[in-house]
Amino acid sequence: MRSFIILGPACCLLAQPQAAQAQRVSENATTQSSDAFGRSVGNEKTGLYTSEDVRGFNPVDAGNVRLEGLYFDQIDRVSMRLIDGNTIRVGPATLRYAFPAPTGLVDYSLSKPDGKTVYSLNLEESGSSARGPGASLEFKQDLAGGELGLAGGIGGRNSHRFEGGRSQFRNFGLTLGWRPRPETEVLLFGGGFFTRSDEARPSYYPIGTAPPPQIERGIDLTQSWTPRETDSWTGGGIVKTPLGGLRLEAGLFYNVRIQRSVFSDIMAGVDSDGSVAARRVIADGHNRDASLSGELRLVKHWQAGSLSHQVTASLRGRDRDRRFGGSRTVALGPSTILRPDLRPLPPYALGAKNRDQVNQLTYGLAWSAVSDRGFSLDAGVSTTSYRKTIDFADPALVDPVTRDRPLLFNLGASYSPLRNVMLYAGVSHGQEEALVAPDVATNRAEAPAAIHTRQVEAGIKYAISPRLTLIAGGFRITKPYFNLDPALRYRQLGTLRNQGVELSLTGQLAPGLTLVGGTMLLDPHISGEAVASHLIGMRPVGQIRRRSAANVDWRPRGGKSALSFDMALESLSRRVGNAANTLYAPARTTVNLGARYRFTAAGADWLLRPQLLNAFNNYGWQVSTSGGFTYNAPRTFTLQLAADF
């Protein structure tokens, strides 16, 4: 099978047709989602959460990542040529999943050979200045009748960014898969993602209690001497195979980010007339952050009467080495956000680097029991040895060493009083990484030691029909709260409690009509001395109180029509914009509209897919956890043409 995909107004390239089943033509994130908590397939996603935001937290930064189900300490983005998609695991999706994390997991799926031969050529050009031309070549190549195969590709884009300026991206990936016998899989993979140009986009910090004035999108406000150049590499291997009466699952992964040059453009004191009281650029470079991580599991399954048991013994660990610091602040004085304000390149020299090392080894044992009488029980316990050392380049500073040996646990259960109803509940105690100090902090790029997190959740899963499922649950998460104090030092300011309710309705409303819809209602609350003394408000910066998302896919004639229509809606409540809780970014709603037309020609299955992103050209503000404002992307039109041969 050979498959070619063309995005944009380019002509298609044809190969000799061969009889085969559709591959790219049948990809659809909406119809492939089992809940509304987050799912990505290729370039499309559904649901409430993403790999950057789950229940108000960033699971990647927290270290809650799995690759093919195994522990992976992700440092930076993984090449799109290596990953097929990801699944967010919260609520009932964590049942029977060994060692879940308190604040949710991101579980990546590798792009790997599957015994078929597929070639995909992607050319992309949007009908908006928000993006630029891009191309990629992907393939899955069978080498030995399904036993041995290769998957991978290369890609790149020269982008006209929607906020002004240009960026260049290049990526590649290759996975070798070997299946010598059933139930045995060996994967070796490697890839990279490279960024060039990509001048630093300004972040706006308002002076008062109102967001920045709405400015024209697309005006290039960057400084030409602030290109960000980053190399990210990912590689590793996975083995899954029977071993006696057990199952062996093992993975070893390496992920590194090399920042050759990195800049941050901070516009502080933005007034309602667009004036900026003080603009400064943080210049940095020659940073390196690398981690060798992995997990070894032995899994035992057995049946005892009406109970199906699974026991998992796990050894997971990481060795992380980070070089940071030595940045320089370039003060540019007053400026404006209304028009370009170009300045000459000032002289500066970067300082010496600090070194941050983390060594961690975790032993765990998990047990799961499922009864044919409608109940299940999951339990896990882990002990971890954690050591973090910081070696400051400045000899006058004390080099801290942090050690921790917490006992981590999780307990979950489910019960089905009726055939179509399941009640679930769980409690977990975990250890996570705290976020790194933001660019605006006086101690920029410093990383606190790992923190302890706790979560309690419960809910109900109700099968309204065989193809439509409702999930309703509540959760309460507590963890230490780190952010900027009034002196702009990043430190612990108290305890953060995120308490919320989430709803998911997913499945077929009627033949050919699929819905993935959900809502999260969140009550984030900070407590501690900083709140009691009125240094900060009780709401964390950058948080929302409500997120709603809906993906609808309608294929007429009961799902048999060649034509289908789809819509993706995201609605956000207003967002906290400063530590004092006196500034809020307004609520916003964006709608994406699309269609798919399937047809057969030249012995191939084809797909024509136009999309209108942000169809009503909604203008909204995003807010970082440090209070920096940036606007969202404008209306963008794309066209995809795909063929499976």
Q: Read off the pLDDT of residues 62-117 as tens digits, 9 standing for 90 and up.
A: 889 999 999 999 999 899 899 988 999 999 999 999 999 988 899 999 999 988 88
Tokens of 180: 């010598």
Residue 143 placed within a domain: yes
Q: Is-contact 557 571, C-beta < 8 A?
A: no
Confidence of residue 9 (pLDDT cuts 50, 70, 90): very low
- Rounded to whole angstroms, the Cα distance separating 468 from 475 reads 23
Confidence of residue 24 (pLDDT cuts 50, 70, 90): low
Residue 7 placed within a domain: yes
pLDDT given at position 472: 98
Q: Which helix (H) or strand (E) holds 517?
A: strand 513-527
* Residue located via tokens 């409608």: 374
- Rounded to whole angstroms, the Cα distance separating 524 from 632 reads 24
Q: What is the domain count for the chain?
A: 1
Q: Is 483 helix (H, G, I), strand (E, B) or coil?
A: strand
Residue 54 has pLDDT above 90, yes or no: yes
Q: Which domain holds residue 192?
A: 3-424+597-644
Nearest to 381 by CA among 346, 354, 406: 406
Residue 10 has pLDDT above 90, yes or no: no
Residue 15 has pLDDT above 60, yes or no: no
Mean pLDDT score, 294-304: 96
What residues does 414 pair with on adjacent strands?
376, 424
Q: Is 73 helix (H, G, I), strand (E, B) or coil?
A: coil
Residue 182 placed within a domain: yes
- Rounded to whole angstroms, the Cα distance separating 158 from 170 reads 9
Residue 496 has pLDDT above 90, yes or no: yes
Q: From residue 236, give the alpha-carbon distance in Å to each of 194, 255, 551.
A: 19, 9, 35
Single-letter residue type at 198: D
Confidence of residue 126 (pLDDT cuts 50, 70, 90): low
Confidence of residue 150 (pLDDT cuts 50, 70, 90): very high
Encode 492-509: b = buried (16+ Cβ within 10 Å), e = exposed.
bbbebbbbbebbbbbbbb
Confidence of residue 125 (pLDDT cuts 50, 70, 90): low
Residue 615 has pLDDT above 70, yes or no: yes
Tokens of 336: 């404006």
**pTM to 2 decimals?**
0.91
What residues does 142 pair with on adjacent strands?
149
**3-state SS of 561-586?**
CCEEEEEEEEEECCEECCCCCCCEEC
Residue 59 placed within a domain: yes
Within 10 angstroms of residue 450's Cβ, the number of other Cβ atoms is 21
Residue 41 placed within a domain: yes
One-character DSSP codes across 17-56: ------SGGG--TTTT-SSSS-EEETTEEESS-BTTBBTT
Confidence of residue 25 (pLDDT cuts 50, 70, 90): confident
Mean pLDDT score, 208-213: 93
- Comparing 127-141, 178-192, 230-244, 385-399, the range with the smallest average pLDDT is 127-141
Q: How far is CA 60 from the centre of its chain?
A: 7
Confidence of residue 203 (pLDDT cuts 50, 70, 90): very high
Tokens of 607: 């797909």
Mean pLDDT score, 500-518: 96
pLDDT given at position 406: 93
Q: How far is CA 65 from the centre of its chain?
A: 9
Q: From residue 473, give the alpha-carbon distance in Å to each of 105, 425, 500, 520.
A: 17, 9, 9, 10
Residue 584 placed within a domain: no
pLDDT given at position 23: 60
Residue 448 placed within a domain: no
Rg (CA), the chain: 25
φ/ψ (deg, to 5) at 558: 65, 30
- Give the chain's count of helices (H) and strands (E): 3, 36
Which CATH number fits the domain that encloses residue 414? 2.40.170
Residue 394 has pLDDT above 70, yes or no: yes
Burial class (CB within 10 angstroms; exposed 0-12, middle 13-18, buried 19+) of 19: exposed
**Most trustworthy range by pLDDT among 125-139, 146-160, 587-601:** 587-601
φ/ψ (deg, to 5) at 31: -75, -10
Confidence of residue 194 (pLDDT cuts 50, 70, 90): very high
Q: Is-contact 438 445, C-beta < 8 A?
A: no
